[in-house]
Amino acid sequence: MLAADTDEALPLAVADDDIPVEAVRSATAHERARELVEASSGSVIVWVGSPDGDPGLSDAIASEISRLEDAPEVEVLVGSWDVDGGRLLDAVAVMDRLRSPGGCAWVAAQDHASLAPFVLEEAHEVTEALEAVIADPDDVRLRADLTDELGDLLFQVLFHARVAADHAGAPFAVDDVAAALVDKLVRRNPHVFGDASAVTLEEIEAQWQAIKHQEKAARAEDD
């Protein structure tokens, strides 16, 4: 594991997992590329990217290996601290911990009926927070309040999904909820995910309503 500066955040994070990272002090991209290619002749080298994206390094490495008869394999993986939505997995894990044996007795005792009033309550509080932000969109405190209220509403979604997972006869889990949402969004937006044509807001709305009507008709036939 090599990096330009082992004091940067990403190498430090790797080192926190007990994976040693060594510094490469080469001044230019070409010097650094030559050092990395030479090091790869005897072992597998992992380069931990720099915050600036290591400008010129990829081209320099390509130039170095092009001169070799037996060139090393190079794989570039673009990563980040967390993908968008990654913290949702943390929220699911926390919900599961609360509901599982050894977790929170109150959470474990709840069912859909006992939780139902909270969904409406949290939805009202989100609406109030939204109205405040709409009135003053640049107020940091109001935006923080909205973030908090949206989290409370999300908690209700996770809670009901976790309760449903415990149902003996017809269980479903949070992944089923997410899958249903994804399927619906893809199905109702064929102008984005398919070959339909809808450009204006009116056309998009009409398309959405038409597909929604078709879905209801199909469900009625199934019943």
Q: Give the number of other CB atoms < 10 A from CB of residue 203.
A: 13
Number of domains the chain is built from: 3
- Residue 22 within a domain: yes
pTM: 0.65
Reported as type and span, the H/E element at residue 33 is: helix 29-39
Between 134 and 45, whose confidence is greater? 134
pLDDT of 78: 66
Q: How far apart are CA 13 and CA 204, in angstroms?
A: 45
- Residue 78 within a domain: no
| 90 shares a domain with 145 | yes
Please name which of 164, 209, 171 lies closest in space to residue 189, comparing C-alpha atoms.
209
Domain CATH for 141? 1.10.287.1080
Q: Give the number of other CB atoms < 10 A from CB of residue 69.
A: 4
pLDDT, tens only, 151-200 = 999 999 999 999 999 999 999 999 999 999 999 999 999 999 999 999 99
Domain range enclosing 153: 86-184
- Residue 77 within a domain: no
| 198 shares a domain with 170 | no
- Residue 10 within a domain: yes
